[in-house]
Amino acid sequence: MLFRDRTEAGERLASELSAYADRPDLLVLGLLRGGVPVAFEVAKALNAPLDIFLVRKLGAPGQRELAMGAIATGGVRVLNEGIVRNLDISKRVIDDIAADEERELERQERAYRGDHFPVQISGRTVILVDEGIATGSTMRAGIAALRIHRPEGIIVAVPVAPPSVCNVLAQEAGEVVCPVRPEFFYAIGQWYQDFRQITDQEIRELLARASQQMVEPAGRRSDTA
């Protein structure tokens, strides 16, 4: 199946998650950048609040598209030990690359949140959404970071991913929802007709629209818990 764009992918994903609609404890988190428009459609369809979750891929030296790991808000770092070992990547090199990505995480926090705190995660059922998964390192970092916040449960939701990666993530999250699981998987972009880059401004606009469409249930508050 080829998705027209991230909007259509989000609508298809939302249909797979319809059992979670209107739950008062539900929270939808989109991974930057491409996961946010997908998550927007999921949150809209399920009548759930939307927020972003910041995770940065650690690209291998000289092969930035090859993920040797990822970092996430909260000081979480996940490494693909097989890639690190096969490419003989030193700890010093990993630390240098991670430091660069940590600075970008801080920039993104300022750019997208400003003075607004993240939505409360503790005690909530969280649907963690991305536009697709290739190696799984970014999503694994996201899951590890989320657990620090003590959610009630974590559902990984993506439109497309290799079945082997879905099986691995199913051991780390409570559930994996992925409607398209091709055996031959080369890149996420091959499953979209429109896979253009999402801008910072588009993300801010989506978050603003989601905030207007959804009022937090009574008793909830926004903090860093």
Distance (Å, whole) CA 206 – CA 108? 15
Q: Reply yes or no on whether the pLDDT at 221 is more than 70.
A: no
Residue 104 lies in a domain: no
Q: Reply yes or no on whether the pLDDT at 215 is more than 70.
A: no
CATH of the domain at 20: 3.40.50.2020
- Cα–Cα distances in angstroms (integers) from residue 142 to residues 8, 39, 55, 127, in the given order: 24, 15, 6, 11
pLDDT at residue 35 in the model: 96
For the entire predicted model, the pTM comes to 0.83
What's the order of all strands across the beta sheet hosting 55-60? Answer: 55-60, 63-72, 76-79
Side chain identity at 45, as an amino acid letter? Answer: A
Q: Reply yes or no on whether the pLDDT at 93 is more than 90.
A: yes
From the list 48, 186, 29, 65, the residue with the least C-alpha distance to 137 is 65
pLDDT digits (tens, 9 = 90+) for 103-116: 998 888 888 876 66
Residue 32 lies in a domain: yes
pLDDT at residue 218 in the model: 39
Range of the domain at 12: 6-55+112-213
Cis peptide bond N-terminal to 150, omega within 30: no
Mean pLDDT, rounded, for 160-176 = 95
Label residue 120 by pLDDT band (50, 70, 90): confident
Residue 159 lies in a domain: yes
How many other C-beta atoms are found inside a 10 Å radius of the C-beta of residue 219?
6
pLDDT at residue 115 in the model: 66
Q: Which residue has the higher pLDDT, 186 or 129?
A: 129
Q: Which residue has the higher pLDDT, 118 or 162?
A: 162
**Of 102-106, 193-197, 219-223, which range is least confident?**
219-223
Name the domain count of the chain.
1
H helix intervals, the chain: 6-16, 35-46, 81-86, 91-113, 137-148, 163-170, 200-213
Residue 221 lies in a domain: no
Residue 84 lies in a domain: no
Strand partners, 194: none
- Interhelix angle for 91-113 vs 200-213, to 10°? 50
Distance (Å, whole) CA 83 – CA 201? 34
69 touches 84 (CB < 8 A): yes
Q: Reply yes or no on whether the pLDDT at 151 is more than 90.
A: yes
pLDDT digits (tens, 9 = 90+) for 27-40: 999 998 899 999 99
pLDDT digits (tens, 9 = 90+) for 62-77: 888 777 888 887 777 8
